[in-house]
Amino acid sequence: MIAARGTAQEHHADRDRSPAGVGVPARSPQRLLWERFRRDRLALAALVLLVGLVLVALLAPLIVSLVGARPPDQQSTAYLDAFGSATGPGSANLLGTDELGRDVFSRVLYGARVSLLVAFASTALILLVGVSVGLAAGYYRGWVDTFLSRVTDVMLAFPVLLLALGLGAACSIGAGCLTVDYGRIGVGLILAGAACGGLFVLWARSRDRRAGNAELHTARDALANFAPFALLIALGAVLAYAVGGRGALIQPGLPVVVVIVALGGWPYMARIVRGQVLSLREREFVEAARALGASDRRILLRHILPNLVAPIIVATTLIIPASILFEAALSFLGVGVQDPQASWGAMISDATGTFDTAWWYMTFPGVALVLTVLAFNLVGDGLQDALDPRTGT
Amino acid sequence: MRRLARWATVTGTLVALATFGAACGSSDQGSTTASQETSVDTVPQGVKGGKVTVLAAGDVDFIDPGQTYYAFGYMVDYAVMRPLYSFAPGTLETAQNDLAAGPPVLSDGGRTVTVTLRPDVRYAPPVDRAVTAQDVKYAIERAFSANVPNGYAFNYFSVIEGTPKEPTDGVKPISGLQTPDDQTLVFRLKTKESGTLVAALVMPITMPVPAEYAKPFDAKSPSTYDQHVAFSGPYMIPNDPKTGKLTGREPGKSIELVRSPNWDAATDYRPAYLDGITIQEGNTDAAVSSRRILQGSGLMQGDNAPPAPTIKQAVQRYPDQLKFVPALGPRYVSLNTSIPPFDDLNVRKAVNAVFDRTAMRLTRGGAIIGDIAWGYLPPGFPGFAASGGLKPPAEFDFLQDPDGDPELAAEYMKKAGYPSGRYTGDAKLLTAAINISPGSQTAAVAQNQFEKLGFKLNFRSLSPETMTTKFCGTPQAKVAICTNVATSADFVDPEALLKPYFYGPAITPSNNANWSELDDPRINAAMDAASALPPGDERVNAWADVNKQIVASAAAVPWIWDKTPLIASKDVQSLGNAYLTSWDLSFTSLKP
Amino acid sequence: MGAYVVRRLLWLIVVLIAVSLVTFVIFYVLPSADPVLLRAGKNPSPEVVQSITHTLGLDRPWYVQYGRYMERLVLHLDLGRSYQNDASVRHLLWDRLPATLALAFGAMVLWLLIGIPLGIFSAVRHRRAGDRVVTGVSLLLISAPVYWLGLVALYVFSADIGKLPWLEGAGSYPTHGTIFTNPGEVVPSLILPWIVLAISFAAIYARFVRGSLVEVLREDYIRTARAKGLPERTVVLKHGMRAAMTPVVTILGLDLGILLGGAILVETVFNVPGIGRLAYDSIQTSDLPMIQGTVLAGAFFIVLLTLVVDLVYAFLDPRVRYGQGAP
């Protein structure tokens, strides 16, 4: 049997066959990735920064009370002068106050929540839609491809910011858009995902037993192929539950922003995935699999999907920072999370009228944005370099 | 961006009514026909000639006097056209006879109002003839036709006999408007209640429109007269000498004003010093355009008031270039009295008691920008003094402390049935707020005040147009709180500030102005009675009493009687017109 | 080749129709404000409201309105009149176009001049100090929101409020004249926005060129060229760049298309009266004819530039013309 090549899992069969008994243990591809990533100091530092940011976002209330700063939505006229102008950084307020007397330090910390939440949630959505569309279009070709590609093209032709503005403005009227219970949806998604996964395992196992087919070694392999995608979708679902279920973080406007950001980003993902699938399906190992009589579904899952992981991860690392910037731009233009929820883009927008005399509440949210996006970009770069086997040092 | 002064229109003066009501014998609020010259301010040492540029954010809504209804449109229209009566800068006390030769004469117990026009006012080319009473008659009639959507004709002029119930197909004559000769215009009314009509004669609807010239434009749907307006004032917009099509106006970009060749200074109380005015639109950033005005030369402000930090700068560095003109109404936060919990008087009193009005005022610039408001008639307006003036009204304990009184508020909440002194229901109150500065900051402070009492708000940040047309103005939307209400009187009479906003029967399914949806039978009756009174002290006092009753009902939270800041470059001097709430272009000149 | 061009032009038209339809439905079905009520005054009676609705033609079902809109557009090239001030949409768009054009093309020239050489430099010094510096700075600039950079730039350099008042600030774009008729006033007012836009995009292009060139320089034929003894400069600039430029051209087309549709963020911060600002204002006031006009203009430029890029490819690479691997 010609062992199917080109999968990241091919090492399984060779695991114990190190040459000539010399004890060099083969490392799993994930391990290899991590080793290479680790060597890039800058990327590592950025990863640490990222983890720190996530922690800050999650623990914002704790940090604020530890430092002794005021809660982010506490207004106070004590820090405004007779004309209503804000006071700058000082002992009372670490980073100064905004024009309502609110502590900028607290607001910057809490603003991280919105940015990260929107970034992760919308990226999850983008993956869901973009990968599905790209896969279908690239693999099935024909009229499916034509139709999906045309839809993608029209979406790409839309001035996205305008569409976002229009939807945001429209969704602010009446009962608003997307007012559902996100907690329930999140839980539902997790349960459904788990159920589907479990069913798939059972089915694959039974196929295994019946066919004795070497194509699908174990159900575990199939699951492992799915794992990255399932993980990302589950992450989004967990986030939805964590914030929607408790209701503490989700505010009117946030789900709309997530959807709008996702709406703007999925065509790019779809295009990238489609391109990759198109080239992959012509490769020899797919030809071989087809010659062996593997079904479409098997080829997709076993051969194509695993090889998409790398480019999709790379694309994701570009999309997350873009989503953060997009959400900030929407907030800057007045669409998005409502007061008093702190959002970096909204804070910069509030500052535009007074930044010549009150520089602090324009500067600090901006710096926070730059740092966050930079961290994601650096990690993304590091991942890209680590995944690319041709980049030698 | 549109100005927040949504309902701003021409103001009428109460004293003008008194002046007008000479035949009905009002006493001492000013002599009768002496209004022409005496109380007109003139710019000190005004220099004839020169040009000034006005920096504006948006465009006028219309030049067509039958359609214009926004403050900025008024600023331009009142420089290029002349209504029957108008206001000189600096005073709301007396209306000037503009097109009219003298005040309106009431007869027949008030059922007939007669206005005599000057014979010597001429239109600019291409119309190029004298203005007649028939022109004013046509101007009013066309405002009732479907092709000329007018925002107030039906509200204030339906009292004229023969006015239709709904907009007519094409311009139809109104039987109650008669012109026995070229200089006389007679209004025959359905009732004796002439007070409102007389006060409303200052509005643009009375600016003359030559019928034979305008008819073909008014036949189109919508009318294209806006692109062919005829000019009766000291200035005009350059136009094609044959067809009258405006050439000096680029919608969205600029408007040119030049001297009208047929304007005779002897016929007008306006000095009209400047030779030309350019209005430059698109200066949407108020901070940027204000800076340019203060530091530059030959510039003045249009519709975009400087933000608070710029006012501070102006006060500290350019005090000679800053003037204030009082706004034509209070700012308040409306509470929807038809939705729980605001249907409970005690809850409304609690909200009024807890509100930190000083903090609200700080978002607009602090003490310099206006006085804390305790009622709905602003300083300088008829009925203000009778309502108690600047001090908090002694008889209302929930209106004593400008910084708010949380203990008293808790007391009222307890009376309303919340033993903890805070709201304990789960309803999230739908709140409509504006999304542009400084209204957005004011809304954030207002939200804070409600939260002090335990209310949870479903807070929506909206553009002014959305807020008015889709939320607050639509009773069906069931908006509980509107944080950015700024009323502006259409004419100078307390009715203009109280009736549209607090009268029960005024509530309409769309574009409702009574955002509190107040429908108190006693207050309604009092308003009916006050409205029927002829102009004079009795009327003013009756309306002041209505004001007190509305304050007692706590249907809204008034918080400031503000002033509109006006800035100009160091070489420009001008006067602020209290009715237009802007610089008066006809009284502007360069410094010598 | 001719058939290809015709096919793509037809597709351009189809896309524009699709975009206009979607826009119409969105902004009609979910309007954020009611244009009728904006003219109706206080407490209008239902008859008055109905009358204004009829006068504006808004009482007909949406597909009828859409049909009339398309009819006017196709037959008379008339995009309707704004609800706000009755101005002709086409006239306003045409008026605002020079500012957007000047902003976009000026920035493009700058960012290409900065970004491409930096990218080449960075690729050649791959993983050495020079590369690290350029990459680091590029990443930093990419990570900053362009409107924030604009505000910072104004804070430092603006003539009226800046600490180092060397350049014209926001709002200095003259009312009359375009870059062609009044360059004396337009150019100084655009310098700061050009710089801000350019450094943002230059960073992207530097990285792109670097990545692309690094890949190309690994190819066999480059090794051959070097082995042949060609000077390094020729190898890199002549052989390397020719291949590396193709993806750059693609994103250049896309970026330019988006910018021409109106750089809302930059136009807002610097008060440049372009199409982007017009679009933003019209969305706020629910001015449907204007919204339609600006969205169509934006889509038109994006698709047009994609078409131009594809045509350039088709011209250069015969494989594309014959259908294989078309993106």
The ipTM, to two decimals, is 0.81
Cα separation of B548 and B541, whole Å?
A: 11
Does residue B532 carry a pLDDT above 70? Answer: yes
Q: Which of the residue ranges A134-148, A203-217, B479-493 has the most confident prediction, judged by mean pLDDT?
A: B479-493
Region A151-172 average pLDDT: 75
pLDDT score for B582: 92
The domain spans of chain A are: 49-70+109-174+250-391, 181-246
Which of the four pLDDT bands, split at 50, 70 and 90, describes residue B460? confident
- For the ranges B2-6, B412-416, B456-460, the lowest mean pLDDT is seen at B2-6
Q: Which domains does chain B have, with CATH numbers?
A: 40-277+566-590 (3.40.190.10), 331-564 (3.10.105.10)
Nearest Cα residue to C158 out of C145, C171, C148, C146: C171
Residue numbers of B between 470 and 499 with CB closer than 8 Å to A:
470-471, 477
pLDDT score for A184: 63
Phi, psi of A82 (to 5 degrees): -60, -25
Does residue B26 carry a pLDDT above 60? Answer: no
Contact of B490 with B379, CB cutoff 8 Å: no
Q: Which of the residue ranges A248-252, C38-42, C119-123 has the most confident prediction, judged by mean pLDDT?
A: C119-123
Region A329-342 average pLDDT: 77
pLDDT score for A36: 79
Measure CB to CB from residue C38 to each of B251, B285, B465 and give the nearest one.
B465
Mean pLDDT taken over chain B: 87
Distance from CA of C139 to the nearest CA of A (A): 7
Cα separation of A140 and B387, whole Å?
A: 79
- Compare A249 and A124 and report the one with higher pLDDT: A124
- As a whole-number percent, the residues of chain C with pLDDT over 70 amount to 93
Distance from CA of A174 to the nearest CA of B (A): 7
Residue numbers of B between 164 and 193 with CB closer than 8 Å to A:
none
Distance from CA of A271 to the nearest CA of C (A): 8
- Residue A371: closest C-alpha in chain C: C143
Does residue A13 carry a pLDDT above 80? Answer: no
Does residue A39 carry a pLDDT above 80? Answer: no
Binary contact (B289, C171; C-beta < 8 A): yes
Does residue B31 carry a pLDDT above 50? Answer: no
Mean pLDDT taken over chain C: 81
- Compare A118 and B378 and report the one with higher pLDDT: B378
pLDDT score for A238: 60
Question: What is the three-class DSSP state of C195?
Answer: helix
pLDDT score for B64: 94
Does residue B21 carry a pLDDT above 60? Answer: no
Tokens of B9: 């229109």
pLDDT score for A248: 41
- Compare A139 and B317 and report the one with higher pLDDT: B317
Binary contact (C27, A333; C-beta < 8 A): no
Contact of B479 with B185, CB cutoff 8 Å: no
* Superfamily the domain A49-70+109-174+250-391 falls into: MetI-like (1.10.3720.10)
pLDDT digits (tens, 9 = 90+) for A65-90: 888 888 888 888 888 888 888 888 88
User: Which of the residues B441, B463, B467 would you substitute to probe the A interface, choosing the one with the greatest number of A C-beta atoms within 10 Å?
Assistant: B441
User: Which of the residues A154, A347, A391 would you substitute to probe the C interface, choosing the one with the greatest number of C C-beta atoms within 10 Å?
Assistant: A154
- CB contact A247 to B (< 8 Å): no
User: Which of the residues C12, C16, C30 would you substitute to probe the A interface, choosing the one with the greatest number of A C-beta atoms within 10 Å?
Assistant: C30
Region A221-247 average pLDDT: 57
**Contact residues on chain B for A338, CB-CB shorter than 8 A:** 459-461
**Contact residues on chain B for C277, CB-CB shorter than 8 A:** 284
Binary contact (C298, A163; C-beta < 8 A): no
Binary contact (C19, A158; C-beta < 8 A): yes
pLDDT digits (tens, 9 = 90+) for B534-576: 878 898 999 999 999 999 999 999 999 999 999 999 999 999 9
Distance from CA of B399 to the nearest CA of C (A): 29
Does residue A243 carry a pLDDT above 70? Answer: no
pLDDT score for B459: 83
Binary contact (A321, C143; C-beta < 8 A): yes
Tokens of A110: 């809490």
pLDDT score for A276: 83
pLDDT score for A239: 58
β pairing state of B51-55 and B299-301:
parallel
Distance from CA of A169 to the nearest CA of C (A): 6
Region A248-256 average pLDDT: 59
**Contact residues on chain B for C34, CB-CB shorter than 8 A:** 469-470, 510
Region C250-271 average pLDDT: 83
Does residue A16 carry a pLDDT above 50? Answer: no
Which of the four pLDDT bands, split at 50, 70 and 90, describes residue A94? confident
Q: How many angstroms from the chain centroid is the CA of residue A335?
A: 21
pLDDT score for B32: 31
pLDDT score for B262: 93
- Residue C20: closest C-alpha in chain A: A158
Binary contact (B285, C82; C-beta < 8 A): no
Does residue A168 carry a pLDDT above 80? Answer: no
pLDDT score for B76: 94
Tokens of B411: 């007391």
Q: Which of the residue ranges A292-296, B24-28, B352-356 has the most confident prediction, judged by mean pLDDT?
A: B352-356
**Contact residues on chain A for C142, CB-CB shorter than 8 A:** 373, 377
- CB contact A173 to B (< 8 Å): yes
pLDDT digits (tens, 9 = 90+) for A359-373: 898 999 999 999 999
pLDDT digits (tens, 9 = 90+) for B327-374: 999 999 999 999 989 999 999 999 999 999 999 999 998 999 999 999
- Residue C282: closest C-alpha in chain A: A166
- CB contact B552 to A (< 8 Å): no
Does residue C277 carry a pLDDT above 80? Answer: yes
**Contact residues on chain C for B165, CB-CB shorter than 8 A:** 47
Cα separation of C114 and A117, whole Å?
A: 35
Which of the four pLDDT bands, split at 50, 70 and 90, describes residue B157? very high
pLDDT digits (tens, 9 = 90+) for B131-154: 999 999 999 999 999 899 888 999
Region C230-250 average pLDDT: 78
pLDDT score for A390: 57
Which of the four pLDDT bands, split at 50, 70 and 90, describes residue A23? low
Mean pLDDT taken over chain A: 75
DSSP β-bridge partners for residue B96: B86
Cis peptide before C145 (omega within 30 of 0): no
Q: Which residue has the tokens 């009314």?
A: B189
Hey, what amino acid is at A358?
A
- For the ranges A250-259, B367-376, C267-276, the lowest mean pLDDT is seen at A250-259
**Contact residues on chain C for B67, CB-CB shorter than 8 A:** 39
pLDDT score for A166: 73
Contact of B95 with B35, CB cutoff 8 Å: yes
- For the ranges A96-105, A182-191, B193-202, C215-224, the lowest mean pLDDT is seen at A182-191
Which of the four pLDDT bands, split at 50, 70 and 90, describes residue A189? low
pLDDT score for A355: 83
Region B467-475 average pLDDT: 87
- DSSP collapsed to 3 states, B45-92: CCECCCEEEEECCCCCCCCCCCCCCCHHHHHHHHHHCCCCEECCCCCC
**Contact residues on chain C for B512, CB-CB shorter than 8 A:** 43
Which of the four pLDDT bands, split at 50, 70 and 90, describes residue B481? very high
Region C303-313 average pLDDT: 80
Q: How many angstroms from the chain centroid is the CA of residue C108?
A: 10
Binary contact (C264, A170; C-beta < 8 A): no
pLDDT score for B149: 86
Binary contact (C302, A157; C-beta < 8 A): yes
Binary contact (C15, A163; C-beta < 8 A): no
Binary contact (A169, B366; C-beta < 8 A): no
- Residue C169: closest C-alpha in chain B: B288
pLDDT score for B120: 92
Contact of B301 with B54, CB cutoff 8 Å: yes
Does residue C320 carry a pLDDT above 70? Answer: no
Tokens of C321: 């013309």
Chains that touch B (3 or more CB pairs under 8 A): A, C
Does residue C280 carry a pLDDT above 90? Answer: no
- Compare A23 and C187 and report the one with higher pLDDT: C187
Q: Which helix (H) or strand (E) holds B523?
A: helix B521-532
Tokens of B106: 């009431």
Q: Which residue has the tokens 């710089």?
A: C195
Does residue C28 carry a pLDDT above 80? Answer: no
Distance from CA of B317 to the nearest CA of C (A): 14
pLDDT digits (tens, 9 = 90+) for B380-434: 888 998 888 898 888 899 999 999 999 999 999 999 999 998 998 888 899 999 8
Rg (CA), chain C: 24
Distance from CA of A217 to the nearest CA of C (A): 34
CB contacts < 8 A, B to C, total 148
pLDDT score for A187: 65
**Contact residues on chain A for B315, CB-CB shorter than 8 A:** 83
